[in-house]
């Protein structure tokens, strides 16, 4: 670990945790949120978060097959249209500099989520991208995380 940001700046850590608490209380399906977190973490190459959220997804009842195929979700038949929309929005916002946020993508996603759900989903994507940047930047210790049962 380069810097233990949790200890060095407890206020910064609490601020990020506040965003995470909002996500947990959003009412979105926890398995969907975990899949969003895994996919963003894959794109951001955050080993710490991939380790954490694959464990959390399994603890929430997600199948190994769906976790393993997440990086190829577009070619896989194992995701619902709503999940596909969430994953497309995740990729779009995670890769924002490369893709922007095109209207056609927004409209596809909006077919599956209410305005309120769109905001909640977007906040989940914002939160995981923040965590990814903290853990990649400061090189979090990978492998020690244990999922809560």
Q: Whose CA is closest to 76, among 125, 27, 37, 39?
A: 39
pTM: 0.95
Asked if 134 contacts 5 with a C-beta cutoff of 8 angstroms, the reply is yes
pLDDT, tens only, 119-141? 999 999 999 999 999 999 999 88
> What does the pLDDT read at residue 124?
98
In tens, the pLDDT along 40-77 reads: 999 999 999 999 999 999 999 999 999 999 999 999 99
- At residue 149, does pLDDT exceed 80? no
Residues 136-146 have pLDDT tens digits of 999 988 988 99
Domains and CATH numbers, the chain: 10-138 (1.20.1290.10)
């Amino acid at each position: 670990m380069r810097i233990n940001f949790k200890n060095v700046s407890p206020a910064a850590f609490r601020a990020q945790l506040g965003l995470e608490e909002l996500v947990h209380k959003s009412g979105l399906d926890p398995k969907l949120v975990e899949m969003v977190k895994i996919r963003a973490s894959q794109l951001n190459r955050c080993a710490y978060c991939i380790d954490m959220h694959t464990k959390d997804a399994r603890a929430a009842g997600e199948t190994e097959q769906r976790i393993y195929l997440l990086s190829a979700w577009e070619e896989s038949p194992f995701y619902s249209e709503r999940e596909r929309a969430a994953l497309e929005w995740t990729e779009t916002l995670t890769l924002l500099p490369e893709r922007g946020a095109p209207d056609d993508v927004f409209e596809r996603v909006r077919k599956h989520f209410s305005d309120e759900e769109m905001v909640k989903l977007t906040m989940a994507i914002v939160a995981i991208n923040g965590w990814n940047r903290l853990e990649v930047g400061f090189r979090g210790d990978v492998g020690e995380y244990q999922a809560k049962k």
